[in-house]
Amino acid sequence: MPISRIYNTASAARRKQALSYSKGESHSGPVFTYGKFNFDYSINFQGLKLGFNDKNGMYHYKRDIIGWKHEAHVASQNGIFYLQPIEPLNLPDNVTDFIEIKFKEITLEPKSTTVVFLTIPIEIGVFLEAKTGERTLLDIVTFCHPKFSLYGSASRGVITRYYESQVYALPPTVRNYQEGLLRLEIENDTEEWATVGRVVLYQKGLNLYYDESAVSACAKMVIRTHDVADVYGIDQPIREDMIQCLQIFESRRTTPFCNIEGALLDSTFTMDMGMR
Amino acid at 56: N
Name, in order, each residue with C-beta under 8 angstroms of 159's C-beta and a sequence gap of 6 or more. 95, 96, 98, 148, 149, 150, 151, 257
> What mean pLDDT, rounded, does the chain reach?
86
Determine contact, residues 85/128, Cβ cutoff 8 Å. Answer: no
Q: Give pLDDT tens digits for 248-257.
A: 866 555 445 5
What residue spans define the domains of the chain?
32-271
Question: What is the per-residue pLDDT for 4?
Answer: 34
SS3 at position 211: coil
- Provide the pLDDT confidence category of residue 25 given band limits of 50, 70 and 90: low
Q: Tell whether the model's pLDDT for residue 218 goes beyond 50.
A: yes
SS3 of the chain: helix, strand, coil, percent, to 5: 0, 55, 45
Please give the Cα distance from 79 to 274 (Å, whole number).
49
CA angle 51, 32, 165 (to 5 degrees): 130
Beta pairing, strands 194-202 & 228-234: unpaired
* Higher pLDDT pick, 134 / 7: 134
Please give the Cα distance from 179 to 177 (Å, whole number).
6
Please give the Cα distance from 250 to 5 (Å, whole number).
5
Q: Tell whether the model's pLDDT for residue 181 goes beyond 80.
A: yes
Q: Give pLDDT tens digits for 60-102.
A: 999 999 889 999 999 988 889 999 999 999 888 888 889 999 9
pTM across the whole model: 0.85
Question: What is the per-residue pLDDT for 50?
Answer: 95
Determine contact, residues 265/273, Cβ cutoff 8 Å. Answer: no
